[in-house]
Amino acid sequence: MSGDDVDRVIAAWHRERPDLDLGPLAVLSRVSRLARRLDLARERAFAAHELASWEFDVLVALRRSGPPYRLTPGQLLAETLVTSGTMTNRIDRLEQRGLVERHPVPDDRRGTWVALTAAGRALVDAAFEDLLAEERALLAELDAPTRAALADSLRRLLLQFEAPDPA
C-alpha cells in the first residue's frame, strides 16, 4: 500500500523534528481530511435537492423524531447545536419554503411546535437517501468488519467529548 498525503506530512515532520511523537497526527489529520471529504459529499447530496446543509440538519432532526415529526424550537436547538436566534431564522426560512410549519402547544400559550410538512418529509427522505449513497461510496474500500471496528474506535474517542461535565 502506498502512502497518502498524511504519510508524507509525517515523514517531513519526522525529518525536521524526530524528537516529537507524531502518532496523533497519523490519526487526527486523517480524520480531518475525511471530514472535509464528507462535507463535500454532503454538499453534493444536498445540492441535488436544493438544500443547504443547515436546512438538512433541521429537517432531519424533525424526521428522525418520529410521528408526528415535530419538536419545539428548544429541542431543535439541542439537536443542531446552534443559538436561539440562529434557530429562529432557520425555522422562518424553512417555513417560507413550505418545509415546516409552526403550531401552538395547546397547554402552553408561549410554546410552539415546529412540524415537518409532507413536502419537507419527502425532501429530507430523498436527500438522506442520496447522502447515504455518497457515504457508502466514501467507505467502499473497507469491508464490513473493518467499518464496524472503525465505528467502534471513533465512538470511544467521541464519547470523551460528549461526556457530561462533572459539576
- 39-97 tens-digit pLDDT: 998 898 899 999 999 999 999 999 999 999 999 988 998 888 888 888 899 999 999 99
Determine the Cα–Cα distance for residues 87 and 37; give it in Å rounded to an integer.
Answer: 26
Q: In the chain, where are the structural domains located?
A: 5-17+24-138
pTM of the predicted model as reported, rounded to 2 decimal places: 0.81
* Distance (Å) of CA 147 to CA 6, 19, 44, 141: 20, 33, 23, 10
- 86-143 tens-digit pLDDT: 889 999 999 999 999 999 888 877 889 999 999 999 999 999 999 999 899 989 999 9
Fold of 5-17+24-138: Arc Repressor Mutant, subunit A (1.10.10)
Q: What percent of the chain has pLDDT over 90?
A: 72
**What pLDDT is attached to residue 80?**
86
